[in-house]
Structure formats: C-alpha cells, structure tokens
Copies of this chain bind each other. A is one copy, B any other.
C-alpha cells in the first residue's frame, strides 16, 4: 500500500515494487494472481481505511462537519492518497470491467455515508441522495483543483462560499 500510494499506478511495475518490499515478483503473483488483481485489492484496502478515517468526523452542524472533512482532505499528508485515487479513477473509467468494484464503491459508499443520517432524520431517500451527491461531488471537485494548483487560498475561499450555501440545499423533510 505504501509503495502504491507513493509511486502510483502509472508505469507501476512488479519488479521494482517487489524489490522495494523485499519480495519477488513470483510471490506477488502467487498471492494476488495478477498485477491487476493486486492493484484492485490494494485500492480496496486503501479505500476502506480512508472511509474509516472520515467516518469519525462529527460536529454540531452539517456544514461544520463538511468543513472538518475538507480540512482533513486538504491536509498535506492526504495528497498522495488523493493522487492515487484520481489516478485510479482515470484508469477505472477506461477499464470499467476490471475496476467495477472500485467504481461502484467510490461513489456509492460515500453517498450512503452522507445520506444515511439524513434519511434517519426523515428525509426521503431520493432527496437525501441528491444532496449527498452535491456534497460528495463538490468536495471531489475541490480536491481535484487543490491537487492541481495547490492554490489553497482560492480553493478555501470557494469552499467557504459553497459551505455557506449548503444549508440552503438541505433536503426538505417528508411531509408528516
């Protein structure tokens, strides 16, 4: 995982990876079956840890939780993870068969994480998921920008603007 996060997927090769982790290509293939399966497994594990690290973020208001999430996302040590993530995203879109589970989980898991509390508060599933989409896709877009430009001031200002408007987008409750 560490090697993948650091070196990425572009041009990833078994032999250097094996050497770096003190193994041989033979062993990697023995346990993972193929290079691609190995990548898929590593991505799944990284994803799971990522989700766990954000699931614990709690705050008084929803916007405040988002703010904290953004703070964690845009912290320096998160960037390699997101670089790997966006890299995997590009490959996954090109090879949906191989990365099917990555593509599913990369949206669906987070949507559920965000939408579920709203559903429990009485919002319809549909509107909760639409709102969760705004949140998830917004943060992803900001992160893509930040990884590209490292223009923290501008992106942070944008996130502030966006956060300020988030409450107005909160879904209506179901009519009781």
Q: How far is the CB of A7 from chain B (nearest CB, A)?
A: 9
- Which residue of chain B has its CB nearest to the CB of A86? B90
In this assembly, does A176 line the interface, its C-beta being within 8 Å of a C-beta of chain B? no
Shortest A162–chain B CB gap in Å is 5
Chain B CB within 10 Å, residue with most, of A8, A90, A136, A162: A90
Cβ distance A130 to chain B, nearest Cβ, rounded Å? 4
Q: Could you say which residues of chain B place their CB within 8 Å of the CB of A92? A: 148
CB atoms of B93 and A147 under 8 A apart: yes
Contact of A69 with B by CB under 8 A: no
Which residue of B90, B141, B155 contacts A88 across the interface (Cβ within 8 Å)? Answer: B90
Using CB atoms, name the residue of chain B closest to A108. B149
> CA of A161 to CA of B131 in the docked complex: distance in angstroms?
7
Cβ of A113 within 8 Å of any chain B Cβ, yes or no, is: no
A26-34, A50-58, A164-172: which one contacts chain B? A164-172
Interface residues of A in 94-113 (CB under 8 A from B): 94-95, 103, 106-108
Residue-by-residue, is A21-43 near B (CB-CB < 8 Å gives 1, otherwise 0)? 00000000000000000000000
- A91 interfacial contact with B, CB 8 Å: yes
| Complex contact A144–B133 (CB within 8 A) | no
Interface residues of A (CB under 8 A from B): 8-10, 83, 86-95, 103, 106-108, 126-127, 129-131, 133-134, 136-142, 144-145, 147-149, 154-155, 157-158, 160-162, 164-166, 168-169
Residue contacts A-B, CB under 8 angstroms, 5 given: A10-B95, A86-B89, A90-B90, A138-B141, A165-B168
Instruction: Please name 6 further chain A to chain B contacts, defined as beta carbons within 8 Å, in addition to the given A87-B91, A134-B158, A138-B162, sorted by A numbering.
Output: A10-B90, A83-B93, A89-B148, A130-B161, A134-B162, A165-B166
